[in-house]
Structure 1
């Protein structure tokens, strides 16, 4: 009788819509969480992977990694959340203290010393599109039962998905899900690149290349830090008004300077270069410019945009004291710090509403991709299952 009662409450497979087809989402195994996606936003990285430029993307897969959700069921041993919790699934996991102490991966020592937020324990599986419990995905095609892989450990373009418990951040129930979903990647990434990775100081000069969601979040973060000058660089002047609203002191269209390298323009405008620069496009030429536009002796260029090509600069640019950095998810430890960012939004300390330019449904995801290619708008938020 006891076993019958247990079987009665065991999670069952769920058939649902995943963007353009029907899939079966299987129950969570040990350490896993099955969640119902409420809203998901389209990020450039989704399209980067869909295009085939991402060598790690494994197909067929369910894309999407910037979302809000509610926990539908949990597997054995889950301690980070409970059924009914509102959550943000995070592509960057935050491991447990006991795993760090046990040195479960090569990142643990640096993680413990606060040198990194990267977790290799879960990453080795999410990079393959599978779950850690058994090395298999929790998705299959409804039509023939063939496997469908996960994307970045989240797969938010599905009505339901399964995540590792290390990748689920519980958020306040009063947070508007259609807005705070942006803290699953775009806005959080830009804020953290400025506040954590580069650690911009008050009175600094800053240049931001690319005024998409991440770049505009960098502009906002620099303004919040008290930067004296914030240069916003983009060929699309439609984005300049919002950049100024978020804190840009000067907007620059590189096309106005012909063939002249934009880094030379910035060096001239800023009496030798800016203190900090952020590349948020994923263009190898702008990545180089983000280093070379900084001041010799102390300038820091931070690469945030995803790029499939190799980049280069003359070694002398580094020998003269500049630093090149990279920033993944802004250096945040998501289970702990994403809820703090949500609270900052609720307290009026950061802006999110202004980043949402389009609202659509999951069935319109291809139109959202088309708008992304046109550079029309900042973020498209897709209604997935929310009433």
Structure 2
């Protein structure tokens, strides 16, 4: 096999030329990695709601053309100067929440945020030199979340990629790049749910079900799933949800229903919708004195949460989480190991598989609520 190290690679990528416009499979050029960077041959990638949100809302981030994608797996093709912990042939997962390893936040066990790598969907350039590694016919193409996995080859900073067990199937562990890690991590890392706890999950999409998986792993005694789409309830029960509630079927606020069913509220609630009103309901569903409510979803409406300061005296805790509190380089190998030992389910989250060329269909499936996760395989990878 001829080495491509140090050379520009021409490959296929799904380019978004403008908001809401269909992705176009183009031949693009991918430059070699600079110092502290890694060039990855992407084998599998999935569509996450964050891809959809930024692609749809021009007012939120008007950076086009760009290559989306941040939930993927692949194999290292080459590394830049100074990268010593990765080499060509390593199986890896890229991730959007970087972990530089040396800043005060990375050294803290209390957060997975990084002072050096702040998540910014509007920044389409590499941190190394504030330029892009993608181009098409000489025109620069912007990056997305530092990962841009909707391409057969991508370049990421070493702080945003981790080596994993080569025995782990790349077509499933790709989902640990965002959705499953976010949901499971919100339970295990952010909330630290104890065995026997009661849990309420608002929104039973892929992330909500991943929260349910985390609750199962934690040994929660009761897991209430809340969604206005009853079609999701059968799937929810497969993931360990013990009772499903549809707010549209009750005359009173759903938080009051939860209080009645749990004797005062749940120990932990998780908002996985991205709606400020739902966030408030999730907070109110927690028990006074010790309830913890975790905001997992992202509300792009810029609506302000309303809270009377006196309510804080009731002892509930309201917090948020990014990537489920997961430090990518430190924790993702642990999740892969759990999966390999059958302690963590991933396969059941994959409702569709498609070739990468059908990316527009993958987006349609997610937008219309007909898929949890659709994994796309590149033409040169195993299916």
Asked if TM exceeds 0.5, the reply is: yes
Aligned partner of 1:196 in structure 2 is 189
Q: Please give the alpha-carbon distance, in whole angstroms, between the structure 2 residues aligned to 1:369 and 1:123.
A: 26
Counterpart for residue 8 of structure 2: 13
The separation in 2 between residues aligned to 1:322 and 1:54, in whole angstroms, is: 35
Other-structure match for 2:129: 134
5 Å matches for 1:83-102?
Answer: 83-96=88-101, 99-100=102-103
Query: Structure 1 residue 46 and structure 2 residue 46: aligned?
Result: no
- The 2-side partners of 1:125 and 1:198 are apart by 24
Q: Which residue of 1 aligns with 2:323?
A: 329
- The 8 Å contact of residues 296 and 317 in structure 1, kept in 2 or not, is answered as no
Cα deviations by residue, 1:252-279 (Å, 9 ceiling, x for unpaired): 1222125x32222212222211111001
Contact 2:41 2:152 in 1 (8 A): yes
Q: Are residue 213 (structure 1) and residue 214 (structure 2) matched?
A: no
CA separation of 1:9 and 1:198: change in aligned 2, threshold 3 A:
closer
Provide the aligned length of Structure 1 versus Structure 2: 367
| 2:282 corresponds to 1:290 | yes
Contact persistence 2:69–2:144 (CA under 8 A) = yes
> Structure 1: which 5+ runs fail to align?
1-7, 101-107
* TM-superposition CA deviations, 1:261-312 (whole Å, max 9, x none): 2222212222211111001111121111111111122111100011112232
Residue 253 of structure 2 corresponds to which residue in structure 1? 261
Q: CA 1:332 to 1:202, structure 2 compared with 1: closer, same or farther past 3 Å?
A: same
Q: 1:351 is matched with which residue?
A: 345
Change in Cα spacing, 1:307 to 1:126, as seen in structure 2 (3 Å) is closer
Residue-by-residue CA offset, 1:81-134 (whole Å, 9 max, x unaligned):
1001010001111113xx33xxxxxxx2x4323221111213378752211221
In structure 1, distance between residues paired with 2:162 and 2:128: 20
- TM-score by length of structure 2 reads 0.91
Question: What corresponds to 1:105 in structure 2?
Answer: none
Quick one: distance in 2 between partners of 1:149 and 1:40? Answer: 18
RMSD across aligned C-alpha pairs, in angstroms? 1.8
In terms of fraction of residues, the more helix-rich structure is 1
Residue 240 of structure 1 pairs with residue 220 of structure 2: no
Q: Secondary structure at the match of 1:312?
A: coil
* Alignment CA distance shift 1:227-1:319 (3 Å): same
Mark the runs of 5 or more structure 2 residues left unpaired by the alignment. 15-23
Q: Is 2:352 the partner of 1:380?
A: no
Could you say if the C-alpha distance between residues 181 and 10 of structure 1 is closer, same or farther in structure 2, counting changes exceeding 3 Å?
closer
Q: Judge conservation of contact 1:281–1:306 (CA < 8 Å) in 2.
A: yes
Q: Is 1:250 matched with 2:271?
A: no
**Quick one: distance in 1 between partners of 2:79 and 2:352?**
33
TM-score by length of 1: 0.91
1:88 aligns to what SS in structure 2?
A: strand
Report the Cα distance in structure 1 between the residues aligned to 2:223 and 2:119, rounded to whole angstroms: 38
